[in-house]
Amino acid sequence: MTEYLYLPPVALFAMMAAAPFYAERLPLRNYRNPDGLPHERVKCIERDSAGFLWFSTVEGLARFDGSRFTRYAVDDGLPVPSVNSILETSPGIYWIATNGDGIADSTPK
């Protein structure tokens, strides 16, 4: 047989009042183009096996190491500037979905 515990509303209110409620603010920082992001329109964010964050933007890729961005653009081998997403298939091997020239990969040639 199941027994239910009945607490009068006053007891419930007293229990809730005893537990502190804090509205914590997240320590957010806004990263933009002057911080090293290729473009402020980010399409996708991925984390790789080494812990880097990769940002796909309309002006290339950016790898974030926790303190700074490294940019990758057409001059670095991307077929087009606009990148939709990136996928790591094995450590250090990336497939990059572009917006206009198919898929690129970083497999050593």
Question: Cβ-count burial of 96 within 10 angstroms (0-12 exposed, 13-18 middle, 19+ buried)?
Answer: buried
Tokens of 42: 């980010």
Which among 96, 91, 5 has a CA at the least distance from the CA of 43? Answer: 96
Question: Given pLDDT bands bounded at 50, 70 and 90, which one contains residue 99?
Answer: very high
Which among 63, 107, 55 has a CA at the least distance from the CA of 84? Answer: 55
User: For residues 58 and 39, is the Cβ–Cβ distance under 8 A?
Assistant: yes
* Tens of pLDDT, residues 23-49: 788 889 999 999 999 999 999 999 999
